[in-house]
Amino acid sequence: MTLPDLKAPALKKPQLIVDLEKATRNVSRIFDKFQRHGVAFRPHFKTHQCAAIGELFREMGVRSITVSSLDMATYFAGHGWDDITLAVPVNLGQVEEIDQLAQRIRLNVLVDSLETASALNDGLTVACPVWIKVDVGYGRVGIKWNDEARLLELAKLIESSALLEFCGLLTHSGHTYECRGREEVQVLFEEGRTRMLHLEETLQAHGTSARISMGDTPSASLAEAFDGVDEMRPGNFVFYDVVQSQIGSCSAEDIAVAIACPVIGKYEADLKVVVYGGSVHFSKDSVIIDGERVFGQLALPASDGWKPVPLTDARIVSCCQEVSKIHVSREVFDQIGLGQTVYILPAHSCLAAEIYPRYRTTDGQVLERFRLFT
Amino acid sequence: MTLPDLKAPALKKPQLIVDLEKATRNVSRIFDKFQRHGVAFRPHFKTHQCAAIGELFREMGVRSITVSSLDMATYFAGHGWDDITLAVPVNLGQVEEIDQLAQRIRLNVLVDSLETASALNDGLTVACPVWIKVDVGYGRVGIKWNDEARLLELAKLIESSALLEFCGLLTHSGHTYECRGREEVQVLFEEGRTRMLHLEETLQAHGTSARISMGDTPSASLAEAFDGVDEMRPGNFVFYDVVQSQIGSCSAEDIAVAIACPVIGKYEADLKVVVYGGSVHFSKDSVIIDGERVFGQLALPASDGWKPVPLTDARIVSCCQEVSKIHVSREVFDQIGLGQTVYILPAHSCLAAEIYPRYRTTDGQVLERFRLFT
C-alpha cells in the first residue's frame, strides 16, 4: 500500500468537507438507473440538506423531492422546489403549518391513523396530497403490511375527506440497513415490493387506485427489480458512508464526505493515533465491523481530497465528545505525523453533515445549508 | 404506578428543557462533597456550555473551570471566567490561539508528548500553565501510568522551558463509565488515584512537585476517598443522564434535562409509541440495559416538569434521524395520546445539549449557550 505524503499544516479545528465530484457521480448513477427502469425519482434531501447540492439534482431533471421535517420542506420550498414529500407521519402540532406550506407548494404528507387523517382534514383550508405510510417489515411507523382491514378503513376515510387527496402507499424499508451484500438487500426489497403490490391490489379490488413509493439507499443501490414501483426516495446515496460501504451499497471510494481532523496524539506502544474530532464533529453513530463497534473510517490526504485507508489498517474504535482513538497498522502509524490533517469518513453521513451549518468542498467552495436550530 | 394526566397541546417540534432546580441541586451536592473533602472543584463546563448555568456555579464560589475546546474556553473567558483548563491535549494548529487567550486569562493546557511541549514552548509569547496528561487505564490519551521514564523526560522538558509552567498530573478515568454500582466505581477510582500518587512520588524523588487533578462524574458522585487528590473536574453531573443513572451516579429523578417530543404514532398491537424526535434532537448515543441498546428514558409530563417512567415500563429501542420508537407497557400505552407531549431523558446529556443553541427551562426562561459551529 502506498500512502500519500502528509504535509498539510495542522487544522485549527475539525471541518466537514464535501467532494462534489464524487457526490455528482453518486447522484448520476442512481438517476440513470431509475431512468432505465422507468421509476420516478424523488430523492430524499435529508442527507445533504443543502440548496446548492439540490441544484445538482435539478440540473439532471429532478423536480420532486423528499424531506424529513416541515422546516426542511420550507427551506427547500424557498429554493424553488414545489413538489415535496414530508416522509414522517404528520405531527398534529404542525397541521396549521402544513396548511400554510400546502398553500404555496404541492406538499405530500403521510398518515397512518384515522385520528391523524381526521385531524388533518379538519385543520386544512386547502387540498393536500396524502400518502398512507405502510410498514413492510421495518417495524417503525406505518400500517402493518398484513393489516388490510385498517388500510382499507384509512383509505376510505381519506377518499371521503373533502381536502385530502389520496395518492398511494409509501414505505421505507429501513431494515435493509441490517443486510450485508447485494443478495440480502434484494431479497428484502423484493419482499417489501411484493407486500406493497399486494396491498395495492387489495385497494384496487375496492375501487381505489394507489401509487407505490419506496425508498432507502441500499435498495436503490443494489436492487434491480422495480416492477410496479412508481417512485423511489433514497437519500443517503448522495454522500454514502461507512455503513453503506459495509452493506455493499458503495465502495469506500464513493464516500463523498469526510471530516478533516488534526492529529493530536501518537502512541507507538499501542499503535494508536488520536485526532481532535469526536462525536460533536461527526456524531456518535457507529457500525459493527467484525464484531467491533467502529465510528468511521480513516482516510489520508491525497492530491484530489482523501484516500480511504483499508479497515484492516485502521479502526476508529472510540469516539468521545471531542477526540477519537484510532488503532492503526505499523505502516499507517509511520506515515502519520503529530499535527497533520487526516480525514474521517463518517459511519453515518446524514448525522455528520447535520452538525455543520456550511460545507467546504474539495474544490474550495463554501455551501450554506439548512439548519434545524438557529 | 400513578401517571399524571396528559393534556398539553402538541408541540411543533422537539425542544430541550432544563430543570434548573434539579441542576442546582446536582451542583450543590457535588460542591458540598468536595468542600467536605477539602478537594478543589474545577467543574467541566462541556456538558451545559451555558454562561447562565455557569453562574449557578459561580454563586456557590466556584472560580476555576474546565472546558473541552479552545472556542469554549474563549466563550467562558468572555463571561468572566479567568482560570480555565482546556482538558484536551494541545492541538498544534491552535498554538497561536492558545497564546492569544493565555494573554488574557490563566489558561491551563495539557500535553503528553515532548514534541507538543516543544512546539508549544516555541509558539508561545507568554507563560502558560501546563499539565501532563496521564492515562491511568482509560486508554485514550496521556502518558501511560507505568511509563515513568517518559513522564520524567516530559516533566524535565517542561520545567526547563522558558514559558511552560509545570502544574502537575491530570487524568480522566473515563473507564468508570463501564462500571455499574458504587463499589465498581470506587475500585477503579482508587486504582487511578493510587497510580497518580505513585507518579507524583516518582516526580518528587526527582525534585519536582506536582499537583494531581482527576475527573469524571461517576467518581465524583460515588467515590469517598480523595486523599492526595488536589482537584476534581467532573462535568456531566450538572444534568446527569440515563448512562449515569445506569452507572449509579444518580437516580432517574436527578436528570435535569429532557427533550419534549410530540407523539406522532400509537400502535396497539405492538404496544409501541412513536415520537417526533430522533438523533438530530438528542444524539445517537445509547446505553446497553439488560443486553438491549436503549436511546433514552421516557418521562411523562408532571406539574413541575416531567416524571420518569421506569425502564421496565418503557424502552426507547430505536432512534432514527427524526423519530424514535418506544416499547411501552399496556398501562403506559393507555395513558399516552396521539399528539401529546412526552419527554425523553437522554442517554448522554452532553451530546443532547450540544444540539441546541439555547435551552428552555421548566420555569420559562430561555438560556443562550455556546455554539461550536456558527
Average pLDDT along chain B, 374 residues, taken 10 residues at a time: 45 96 98 98 98 98 98 98 98 97 98 97 97 96 97 98 97 93 97 98 98 97 98 98 98 98 97 98 95 96 96 96 97 96 97 96 96 92
* CB–CB contacts below 8 A, A to B: 162
> For all residues of chain A together, what is the average pLDDT?
96
Burial code (b: 16+ CB inside 10 Å, e: under 16) for B56-77 equals: bbeebebebbbbbbbbbbbbbb
Contact at CB, A141 and B90, closer than 8 angstroms: no
- pLDDT-derived band at A3 (thresholds 50, 70, 90) equals very low
Contact at CB, B13 and A113, closer than 8 angstroms: no
- A290 by Cβ neighbours in 10 Å (0-12 / 13-18 / 19+) ranks as exposed
Whether A264 and chain B come into contact, CB under 8 Å, resolves to yes
Nearest partner of A196 among A219, A208, A213, judged by Cα: A213
Strands A106-111 and A128-135: parallel
Burial code (b: 16+ CB inside 10 Å, e: under 16) for A227-239 equals: eebbbbbbbbbbb
Contact at CB, B339 and A112, closer than 8 angstroms: no
Cβ–Cβ under 8 Å, residues A318 and A51: no
Contacts with A92 from chain B: Cβ below 8 Å: 10, 262, 264, 338-339
Residue A130 has pLDDT above 80, yes or no: yes
What CA–CA distance (Å, rounded) separates A24 from A22?
Answer: 5
Q: Three-state DSSP class for B271?
A: coil
Contacts with B144 from chain A: Cβ below 8 Å: 269
Nearest partner of B271 among B314, B312, B324, judged by Cα: B314
What CA–CA distance (Å, rounded) separates B131 from B89?
Answer: 9
Mean pLDDT of A251-275: 97
What CA–CA distance (Å, rounded) separates B319 from B282?
Answer: 9
Contacts with B6 from chain A: Cβ below 8 Å: none
For A140, A262, B344, the CA distances from B331, given in Å and listed in that order, are: 21, 51, 18
Q: Please state at what angle helix A70-77 crosses helix A51-60, rounded to 10 degrees.
A: 70
- B135, β-bridge pairs: B144
The CA distance from A36 to the nearest CA of chain B, in Å, is 30
* Amino acid sitting at position A162: A
- pLDDT in the model for residue A7: 47
- A56, β-bridge pairs: none
Residue A8 has pLDDT above 60, yes or no: no
Query: Mutate which of A7, A66, A91 to disrupt the B interface (most B C-beta within 10 Å)?
Result: A91
Whether B199 and chain A come into contact, CB under 8 Å, resolves to no
**Residue of B13, B280, B318 with shortest CB distance to A140:** B318
Q: A147-172: per-residue pLDDT in tens?
A: 999 999 999 999 999 999 999 999 99
Return the half-sphere exposure (C-beta side, CA atoms, 13 A cut-off) of residue B295.
25
What CA–CA distance (Å, rounded) separates B154 from B149?
Answer: 9
Q: Which CATH superfamily is domain B20-239 in?
A: Alanine racemase (3.20.20.10)
Contact at CB, B69 and A322, closer than 8 angstroms: yes
- pLDDT in the model for residue B302: 95
**φ and ψ of A144, to 5 deg:** -60, 140
- pLDDT in the model for residue B161: 96
Mean pLDDT of A351-370: 96
Contacts with B13 from chain A: Cβ below 8 Å: 69-71, 91, 93-94
**Residue of B10, B140, B266 with shortest CB distance to A91:** B10
Sign of CA dihedral B10, B12, B16, B20: negative
Contacts with B279 from chain A: Cβ below 8 Å: 283, 285, 351
B361's grid cell: 427551562
Strands A106-111 and A83-89: parallel
Measured between CA atoms, the residue of chain B closest to residue A147 is B269
**Residue of A10, A113, A265 with shortest CB distance to B338:** A113
Those of residues 121-180 in A touching chain B at CB distance below 8 A are 139-141, 144, 147, 174
Q: Report the C-alpha dihedral over residues B234, B178, B187, A320, rounded to 10 degrees.
A: -40
What CA–CA distance (Å, rounded) separates A81 from B111?
Answer: 51
Contact at CB, B140 and A283, closer than 8 angstroms: no
Cβ–Cβ under 8 Å, residues B311 and B332: no
Q: Does domain B256-368 have CATH number 2.40.37.20?
A: yes
State the CB neighbour count (10 A cutoff) for residue B258.
30
State the CB neighbour count (10 A cutoff) for residue A59.
10
DSSP A53-64: HHHHHHHHT---
**Residue of B90, B274, B373 with shortest CB distance to A140:** B274
Contact at CB, B373 and A355, closer than 8 angstroms: yes
Contact at CB, A92 and B270, closer than 8 angstroms: no
Cβ–Cβ under 8 Å, residues B275 and B344: yes
Mean pLDDT of A350-370: 96
Residue A5 has pLDDT above 50, yes or no: no
What CA–CA distance (Å, rounded) separates B299 from B343?
Answer: 5
- pLDDT in the model for residue A374: 87
What CA–CA distance (Å, rounded) separates B225 from A104?
Answer: 65
Contact at CB, A274 and B89, closer than 8 angstroms: yes
The ipTM of this complex is 0.95
Cβ–Cβ under 8 Å, residues B38 and B32: no
**Residue of A90, A140, A318 with shortest CB distance to B320:** A140
- A345, β-bridge pairs: A297
Q: A176-196: per-residue pLDDT in tens?
A: 999 999 999 999 999 999 999
Report the percentage of chain A scoring pLDDT > 70.
98
**Residue of B113, B265, B284 with shortest CB distance to A338:** B113
Contact at CB, A119 and B270, closer than 8 angstroms: no
Mean pLDDT of A37-58: 98
- pLDDT in the model for residue B9: 62
What CA–CA distance (Å, rounded) separates A85 from A68?
Answer: 8
Measured between CA atoms, the residue of chain B closest to residue A140 is B325
Contact at CB, A279 and B276, closer than 8 angstroms: no
Cβ–Cβ under 8 Å, residues B358 and B18: no
Q: A136-146: per-residue pLDDT in tens?
A: 999 999 999 99
Domain A20-240 matches domain A256-368 at the CATH topology level: no
Cβ–Cβ under 8 Å, residues B109 and B100: no
Contact at CB, B13 and A94, closer than 8 angstroms: yes
Whether B112 and chain A come into contact, CB under 8 Å, resolves to yes
Contacts with B119 from chain A: Cβ below 8 Å: 339
Residue found under cell 443553541:
B357
Q: Does domain A20-240 have CATH number 3.40.120.10?
A: no
State the CB neighbour count (10 A cutoff) for residue A282.
32
Domain boundaries, given as residue ranges, for chain A: 20-240, 256-368
- pLDDT-derived band at A9 (thresholds 50, 70, 90) equals low
B172's grid cell: 480522566
Those of residues 71-90 in B touching chain A at CB distance below 8 A are 71, 88-90
Q: Which alpha helices (H) appear in chain A, and where do they start and end?
A: 20-37, 51-60, 70-77, 95-102, 114-123, 148-160, 182-205, 217-222, 242-247, 279-282, 330-335, 349-354
Whether A348 and chain B come into contact, CB under 8 Å, resolves to yes
